[in-house]
Structure 1
Amino acid sequence: MHTMLFKGAAAGVALLALTGLAGAEVLARAAADLNIRSGPGPQYPIVGVIGVNEEAEIEGCREGSKWCAVNHAGVNGWAYSDYLSAPFEGGGDYVVVTERPAEALPPVSFEATSTIEVEPFHGELIGRKTAIGTVEPIAPPPAEVTTYIQSNRVEPVYLEGEAVVGAVVPETVELREIPDYEYRYVYVNQQPVLIEPETRRIVYVVR
């Protein structure tokens, strides 16, 4: 299987060039615990998390992409906009950022400072973005489950999107069993997650 090279910032260093609307930051709300990554893609390291219902400033979005430059609690990085919503018209109803008006946010460019090598994408995480926040995560797993997952690490599968509770892993992804435990696990975009085998829905993200 061929690998793809991504120009990435492994240490979270990126150059942002905002064009269009200056000072047009939008305050957006996360529908689920949402990773902040050092670059615009799931192959980049996680540098922070926007908690469910917490807000972050969106400085702009990469043109032709669902990845947006964000700032949350002093952490700058990139987040997947399917799981962010904002009132774009003077404090009205919240709209998923992916469905934002084209003129609502300026385009942001990304210039990498190093090269990251990852496997090709094997599909995408499934599920309506507007329904993600309605799925409650399970209680934190027992310590022995977390230890087993970390001790039996498997190669991550890269899927378009972000690993959040409520998203569904496609049938092409092999789920791994955990001894004496009802849920399965897999590493999605470098993130270990617990999966309900009947629905293939992510029920917990191990952080």
Structure 2
Amino acid sequence: MKTFFPHLIRAAATAGLVLATAVPAAFAAMSATVTTDLNVRAGPGPQYPVLGVAPGGSTAALEGCIEGSLWCRVNAGGVSGWAYAKYLQTESGGSTVVISERRQELGVPVVSHEATGATVTVRPEPLELVGRVEDIPTVAPPPTVRTYITENPSEPVYLEGEVVLGATVPSSVAVQPIPEYEYEYVVVNNQPVLVEPSTRRIVYIYR
């Protein structure tokens, strides 16, 4: 049974955030399906802390999206936050559509977000999902790999998009080898990930 991961919930107040949404009263939040394990963040961007993870295949209430952005406000498993619209789908006219591709047709309302404090510069290179999540090999890294990453930290890289299995790390981003291990690692949007060297796909995410 897939469930929302409550142990990852963090207090958004610690990030110094002020949220403001303007959803028309007539709009009933539509149900969206999460296509892969997806971070729900305290704000609309990879620099914001993760409040929890909505499992792939679960549903979330879509409250609205920011104009000109791929970030939408959702309620998943009772936790309200922000998710990347490329990994949210809904039913429309008898077919399944991606929220980011059909927002206007679906009538998704525009919401706003205001934040205080420091911001992080995000590179324009997007992380894109490559193929189906099921095509990603099942990886169970030994504890020694996590120990090595912890003892050999690398500078985090911030990329537009979200850290999901199957996303491709751009070629301009340096990844680090792990001694006597087939995968390499990099910290993307503050999350250590294992990368398949030949394809640069993310095969494991440390949460």
Q: Unaligned 5+ residue runs, structure 2? A: 1-11
Please tell me whether the aligned partners of residues 132 and 167 of structure 1 are also in contact (alpha carbons under 8 angstroms): no
Following TM superposition, by how much is the alpha carbon of 1:140 offset from its aligned partner in structure 2, in angstroms?
A: 2.3
- Give the number of equivalent residue pairs: 195
Alpha-carbon displacement from aligned partner over 1:35-89 (angstroms, at most 9, x marks no partner): 0110000011111101111111110011110000011111110000101111134
Following TM superposition, by how much is the alpha carbon of 1:13 offset from its aligned partner in structure 2, in angstroms?
A: 4.1
Alpha-carbon displacement from aligned partner over 1:86-114 (angstroms, at most 9, x marks no partner): 1134xx222111112405210011122x2
What is residue 99 of structure 1 aligned with on the other side?
101
Q: Unaligned 5+ residue runs, structure 1? A: 1-7
Q: Name which structure has the greater RCO, CA cutoff 8 Å, separation 6+.
A: 1
From 50, 53, 56, the counterpart of 2:57: 53
- Matches of 2:63 and 2:128, distance apart in 1: 27
Q: Kindly tell me: are residues 170 and 196 of structure 1, through their superposed partners in 2, closer, same or farther at Cα, counting changes over 3 Å?
A: same
Please tell me whether the aligned partners of residues 10 and 116 of structure 1 are also in contact (alpha carbons under 8 angstroms): no
TM-score of the aligned structures, taking structure 1 as reference length? 0.86
- Matches of 1:176 and 1:122, distance apart in 2: 22
- Matches of 1:181 and 1:59, distance apart in 2: 43
What is residue 165 of structure 2 aligned with on the other side?
165
1:26 aligns with 2:30: yes
- Matches of 1:33 and 1:83, distance apart in 2: 9
Query: SS state of the match for residue 18, structure 1?
Result: coil
Please tell me whether the aligned partners of residues 43 and 189 of structure 1 are also in contact (alpha carbons under 8 angstroms): yes
- Matches of 2:134 and 2:21, distance apart in 1: 35
Query: SS state of the match for residue 123, structure 1?
Result: strand
Following TM superposition, by how much is the alpha carbon of 1:121 offset from its aligned partner in structure 2, in angstroms?
A: 1.4
What is residue 115 of structure 1 aligned with on the other side?
117
Q: Percent identity?
A: 49
Alpha-carbon displacement from aligned partner over 1:138-196 (angstroms, at most 9, x marks no partner): 23211111121122221111111101011111110001011110000001111111000
